[in-house]
Amino acid sequence: MHSASHRNPVLLIHGIFINSAVFHRMSAYLTELGWEVHALDLPINDTALGLDRLAERVADYANNKFGRQRPIDIVGFSMGGLVSRYYVQRLGGIERVQRLIAISSPHNGTWMAHCLESLTTVQMRPGSAFLEDLNGDAGMLERLNFTSIWTDWDFIIVPASSSQMPVGKQVKVPVFAHPLMPWHPKTLEAVAEALRVPVKPHPPLVRTLERQKSLQGGSNI
């Protein structure tokens, strides 16, 4: 086993109407395997904040806890996966997050989000402006090691296939029901495996910009 000193710290981001206690077993499991594990409690009772504002809390925590340069890995459960993606894709997290693991996250929305009226749940509905915008450039997740872990028997992410993404690695686990996902041994094994994968080198920014220009027909705007 590699020494924990050669691994990134792991930040756990929970979902809606729960707190970091949902990661009790995962935190102990990963710590035993040698990772430095941290869990952030988001103000999830205030569902008027929106996923973008919650992502700002993740950015602030990461900067205050680890400094602005230290690489980190993130595991997001359910709504936490979308919050983590917003941090990576919109708030500069792409420059430091090397592995992003989403567990039962509604990347393409969930019909269960229609059960409540709040900014947070509206953003998680299929076809929402928030998801359309975030998925519009999901390809940038190819710059890091992105893994989506999901189950056919979720019942909160409806349809369950909404947790699948066209980028990264998709891992289906035989877990019955959404609440068991962060606790089940199969999920824990999948998370540890994803955290062990060697990181991708970030492509030079200038090369990325040149590719974007070529896709736009060589525009010099």
Alpha helices (runs of H) in the chain, residue ranges in sequence order: 24-32, 51-66, 79-90, 119-123, 129-136, 185-196, 205-215
Q: What is the pLDDT of residues 7-41, one digit of tens each?
A: 999 999 999 989 999 999 999 999 999 999 999 99
Q: What is the mean pLDDT of residues 163-180?
A: 97
Terminal-to-terminal C-alpha distance of the chain: 50
Q: What is the pLDDT of residues 45-101, one digit of tens each?
A: 666 789 999 999 999 999 999 999 999 999 999 999 999 999 999 999 999 999 999
Note the pLDDT of residue 117.
Answer: 86
Domain boundaries, the chain: 4-215
* Amino acid at residue number 162: S
- Per DSSP, 2 falls in state -
Q: How far apart are CA 28 and CA 31, in angstroms?
A: 5
Note the pLDDT of residue 202.
Answer: 65
Q: Which residues pair with 39 in a beta bridge?
A: 12
Domain 4-215 in CATH 3.40.50.1820? The answer is yes
Q: Which of 102-111, 181-190, 195-204 is predicted least confidently? A: 195-204
Q: How confident is the model at residue 113 (pLDDT cuts 50, 70, 90)?
A: very high
Share of the chain above pLDDT 90, in %: 82
Q: How far apart are CA 2 and CA 6, in angstroms?
A: 7
For the cut 50, the answer to whether the pLDDT of residue 217 exceeds it is no
- Among 39, 112, 89, 73, which residue's Cα sits nearest to residue 191? 73
